[in-house]
A and B are shown apart, each in its own frame.
Chain A
Amino acid sequence: AQTVTQSQPEMSVQEAETVTLSCTYDTSESDYYLFWYKQPPSRQMILVIRQEAYKQQNATENRFSVNFQKAAKSFSLKISDSQLGDAAMYFCAYKGMEYGNKLVFGAGTILRVKS
């Protein structure tokens, strides 16, 4: 079964600085999708960024970018120029291609942004 591990329960960053959130996963599949979701205090799940495993190029969405290392099964999220509104729980999630459409989530990382 696929598993997703987020080893940082909590991270802090100073406003305007850069922070990287870690995620590793375990799978036997060669093709899959990876996602980062943001969950603010309202608890809504908001898609931040996604990466297709077959793409070597790292995904980027404005201040958010990923470092996807397929061989190492690593998928970290970098937030540049951190803003107070970035404070939230961040979940890494995996979706395989062979065993259904479900998302498998990591335990999450709480990101605190200091002003």
Chain B
Amino acid sequence: EPEVTQTPSHQVTQMGQEVILRCVPISNHLYFYWYRQILGQKVEFLVSFYNNEISEKSEIFDDQFSVERPDGSNFTLKIRSTKLEDSAMYFCASSDAVAGTDTQYFGPGTRLTVL
């Protein structure tokens, strides 16, 4: 069964450093998403991406965040200058909007720890 994959599973970084979180969505999906979950809190939407551009973003997704689809398979989330409060689990998800299937399938997540 196709699945969303994410790398790395755990990233440790120093405050102020840049990190790139990588995702490979399900191959025939067209909508891509990033969510985050701070430990013990609810899952929060960050951004959605369609047709090589951001379709929606939340207030959390400020100028220090960016997303990119550098090739036909990868979807990345970059945090330019990490802060302690960026420590969270980051989930990538994808959905096949064309087929009318609005279910988002999630990857296993990347645990980001900012020291």
Contact = CB atoms under 8 A, between A and B. Distances in A.
**Are A and B physically bound partners?**
yes
Interface class of chain B by DSSP: strand
Interface stretch (B18-26, B78-86, B102-110): B102-110
B95 A101 contact: yes
Contact of A95 (B42, B55, B102): B102
A103 B55 contact: no
A88 to B, nearest CB: 14
Contacts of A50: 103
Given A91-B43, A102-B45, A45 B91 contact: yes
A37 interface: yes
A47 B103 contact: yes
Interface residues of A, number: 22
Interface in A53-110: 91, 93, 95, 100-108
B39 to A, nearest CB: 9
B97 interface: yes
A105 B31 contact: no
A103 B45 CA distance: 7
Given A101-B55, A101-B56, A103-B104, A43 B48 contact: no
Interface residues of B, number: 27
A105 B46 CA distance: 12
Given A43-B111, A100-B55, A101-B33, 5 more contacts: A43-B108, A44-B107, A47-B105, A104-B45, A106-B42
Q: Which 9 A-B pairs have the closest CB atoms?
A: A45-B106, A100-B56, A102-B45, A105-B43, A44-B108, A107-B42, A105-B42, A33-B102, A101-B48
Interface of B: 31, 33, 35, 37, 41-45, 48, 55-56, 58, 89, 91, 93, 95, 97, 102-109, 111
Interface of A: 33, 35, 37, 42-47, 50, 91, 93, 95, 100-108
